[in-house]
Chain A
Amino acid sequence: MPEKELKPEKAVIVLHSGDMDKFYSALIIGNGALAMGMEVSVYFTFWGLMRLKKGELEKGPLSRMHMLGLGKKMIEGRMKAANVASLEKLMEDFKELGGKIIACEMTMEIMGIKKEELRTDWVDDWGAVGTYIQEARDASITLFI
């Protein structure tokens, strides 16, 4: 039986948070949706966009109980023991399965971030709210994380 030829369903995620645990949620949901045959785009804005800066992928704090990095270290240890994939691997898989990444241009302006400071190899599109709405209007899943 060939794979379905119909236009796939779509999931659109706004990643507003730069927290490590929330970034994990966004990428796990995104990769799961891709694996189950959906189209996915993740719109990186505000603190989320910080994770796209070169070398900053894994640098986000924990959303709760960060405790100056102590809580994060503990959780990282537990995640390693449970063999959880790194954010780098999840990003690579996301791109390999055709996931789309949109970077918010207004955030770049506010935070004074230049394109060359970001992982441009991952970014498919640079956009504003209209890009998100256009992506989300026919999506069956849309999330704000």
Chain B
Amino acid sequence: MTEVEIDVRGETCPVPLVECRKALRKASPGDLVLVKGTHPASKKEIPMACEALGLEVLGIEDKEGGKEWEIKIRR
């Protein structure tokens, strides 16, 4: 099991969602994917995509006083 980190801070629609999906496709089942971003809508939409894909979101955390977020997903 490995943990992959993708940094999409500063990126806007649809890049955070797309980069998250690209990382999930490359990961093996059981791997952890950590997405770091700033785009507000993606903080809601990445968990929506995970639900549609049947993947588990392990946590959503605000960072830097709410300016950044981190989402941890198990592939």
Contact = CB atoms under 8 A, between A and B. Distances in A.
A143 to B, nearest CB: 15
Given A32-B17, A37-B49, A97-B25, A3 B12 contact: no
Contacts of B18: 31-32, 34-35, 93, 97
A110 interface: no
Q: In this complex, which of B10, B13, B29 has the most chain A Cβ atoms within 10 angstroms of its Cβ?
A: B13
Interface residues of A, number: 19
B14 A3 contact: no
Contact of A83 (B11, B24, B53, B55): B11
For chain B, the bracket of interface size reads: 20 to 34
A3 B13 contact: no
Interface in A7-22: none
B14 A1 contact: no
A35 B13 contact: no
Nearest to A32: B14
B52 A37 contact: yes
A83 B49 contact: no
Interface of B: 10-15, 17-18, 20-22, 24-25, 29, 48-49, 52-56, 74-75
Given A32-B17, A35-B17, 15 more contacts: A1-B56, A3-B53, A4-B53, A31-B17, A32-B13, A32-B14, A35-B14, A36-B17, A36-B21, A36-B48, A37-B53, A83-B10, A85-B15, A93-B18, A97-B18
